Amino acid sequence: MKPIIFDVDTGIDDAMAMAYALNSPELEVLGFTTCFGNVPVVESTRNTLAVLEKLNRRIPVFEGAGQTLVRGKKKKYPKHAHGEDGLGNTLQFEPTIKASKGNASDFIIEQVKSRPHEITVIAVGPLTNIAMAIKKAPKIMSLVKEVVIMGGAVNVQGNVTPYAEANIVSDPEAADHVFSSGLPITLVGLDVTLQTYLLKSKLDEWRATGKESARFLAEMTDYYMKAYETSHPGLGGCALHDPLAVGVAIDSSFVSAEMMNVKVVTEGEETGRTIGQQVSGPGIRVCTKVEADRFVKHFLERVI
């Protein structure tokens, strides 16, 4: 089993990614760390605990960054896509399980130090917790096995602005700090995630299982798909952004990648843009192609 720390800003596709990871025997989820992003961090923590409760799993959850590295608090959250509660307005209960004591970046540091060269971090929100861990303990960078990041749009347009993807533009300085850190990074961006589609018809199959957790995921994803329909008319589904990062952590052959130096624009109208330059030596593995059908089949076999 591959030990992972899963860094989330739990909205709808995070919830699907959580279910996929927890139902994958290849992965040992050591803990979840939460960040602002789709919702404020307190709600991200609550949503993470709620999803775990619905999945009947008990995994430690550590609350992390409530604001960006240098820009203060995020001003606007994507409620049009994730709902008022971040889970498609499906959250009808307060989770009974509580977050663990301690801070997300400290948990990352402790785990990496205790299991050198073993731990993979999957990060599917803004990269603030990772950046803070690097700043607090720069020596951990050489001890991390891999960081799989859902973020960026190197060869395609952004999804928040024409230039920027949501996770990167939420804290561009944190992303730039992480990308230039020397960590062994695989970047799973819009270049590949936008080629992976979950069709609306699958939600009825989830509901038909009779499982409460499947119905919970179906209802929130239905909300997400309706938001998608306004931006992608006729698509009849949604992209599997965060789940693909989990898929890559399980089986890297789902994607093809190129080695690049990646810089993040931190000023002006292109803020959040990820600019990749191919390199022959060390760099970031930027995913450029995906075996979408094979990945989606794998995801569907496991998520519920």
Q: Which residues are catalytic?
A: 9, 241
- Terminal C-alpha separation, the chain: 20
Give the contacts of 105 (CB within 8 A, at least 6 positions apart). Answer: 33, 64, 65, 129, 130, 132, 133, 136
Instruction: Count the Cβ atoms, other than its own, within 10 Å of residue 85.
Output: 18
Of 145, 150, 107, the C-alpha closest to 127 is 150
Question: 238 phi and psi, to 5 degrees?
Answer: -150, 160
Over its C-alpha atoms, the chain yields an Rg (Å, rounded) of 18
What are the helix (H) ranges across the chain?
12-22, 41-54, 79-82, 104-114, 128-136, 166-170, 172-179, 190-193, 201-208, 212-231, 241-250, 292-302
Give the contacts of 36 (CB within 8 A, at least 6 positions apart). Answer: 9, 44, 65, 66, 67, 73, 74, 125, 126, 128, 170
CA distance 37 to 7: 11
Sort 196 into a burial class: Cβ within 10 Å, 0-12 / 13-18 / 19+: buried
Q: In this structure, is the dihedral angle defined by the CA atoms of residues 228, 230, 231 and 232, taken in order, positive or negative?
A: positive
CA distance 42 to 36: 8
